[in-house]
Amino acid sequence: MKFTYYGHSCFAVETGGKTLLFDPFITPNALAKSIDVDMVPADFILLTHGHADHVADAVRIATRTGATVIANFEVATWIGKQGITAVHAMNHGGSCGFDFGRVKYVNAIHTSSLPDGSYGGQPGGFVVTAKDEGSFYFAGDTALTFDMKLIAEEFTLRFAVLPVGNNFTMGAEDAAKAADFIGCDEIVGVHYDTFPPIRIDHEAAKAVFSKAGKRLHLLKIGETHVF
Ligand code: NI
Ligand code: MN
């Protein structure tokens, strides 16, 4: 599966001939100036929660690409009110089949409101099981939680995407524990460096993971990696 990092918690995964784009926050991100938001491809846009640093460019990209937006009920309804008709609402514990594979919306511990202050429901993460290519997990914004152990019981993950920036989410220490809970050794770190409170020491974060027998990938914005 080809993974492309667009900065903050935004990335794309190509699988089964489809491009899945997660939590698009590109135009407001000073670190992502090299990315042209109007060139970013998407067949599906998956949103973990309603905060602006996860949904900022969702409507713009969905309008251009016609991508289907997958999110919890409240976020999907809000995206629908912005004029996007291709929306698919889910909620915690539910999974659904799409033409690229299955998506399960799983627990996260965080908060959620939309950019205009509307209620965003409860935040979540996604486990995507691609046809023939295995599963991956995107935690969204979350604290470390024992619920992550349920993911290891149900899925064998090829890789996982975890926040490592601390302050608003887990930091590297807790994310390394999360990697253990979900039974995954290949971790992509996200939600770091974008704002002053979440600036991290890259080498120190990688060392925390390598000490735990895991690998932390901190990709450059625009960089791709094949898992
Ligand atoms: Ni958030
Ligand atoms: Mn966030």
Report the 10 Å Cβ neighbour count for 63. Answer: 12
**CATH code: domain of residue 75:** 3.60.15.10
Q: Can you list the positions of beta strands (E) in 28-155? A: 44-46, 68-72, 87-90, 95-98, 101-107, 124-130, 134-138
Strand order in the sheet with 18-22: 87-90, 68-72, 44-46, 18-22, 11-15, 2-5, 224-226
132 CA → ligand 2 middle, Å? 31
Q: How many domains does the chain have?
A: 1
Instruction: Report how far ligand 1's centroid is from the alpha carbon of 132 (Å).
Output: 32
Helix-, strand-, coil-residue percentages of the chain, each rounded to 5? 25, 30, 45
Continuous segment of H or E residues that includes residue 12: strand 11-15
Ligand 2 centre distance from Cα of residue 129 (Å) = 24
* Predicted model pTM: 0.98
Ligand located closest to 195 CA = 2
Task: Report CA(168)–ligand 1 centroid distance (Å).
Answer: 7
- Domain of 153? 2-226
| Per-residue pLDDT tens digits for 30-67 | 999 999 999 999 999 999 999 999 999 999 999 999 99
Q: Are 62 and 45 in contact (CB under 8 A)?
A: yes
Which segments in the chain show pLDDT lower than 50?
none
Q: Quick one: pLDDT at residue 63? A: 98
Distance of CA 102 to the CA centre of its chain: 16
Q: What pLDDT score does 132 carry?
A: 86
Taking the C-alpha atoms of residue 58 and residue 178, their distance in angstroms, rounded to an integer, is 28
Ligand with smallest separation from the Cα of 190? 2
Distance 126 CA to ligand 1 centre (A): 15
Residue (of 186, 208, 160) closest to 11 by Cα position: 160
Q: How far is the CA of 29 from the centre of ligand 2 (A)?
A: 12
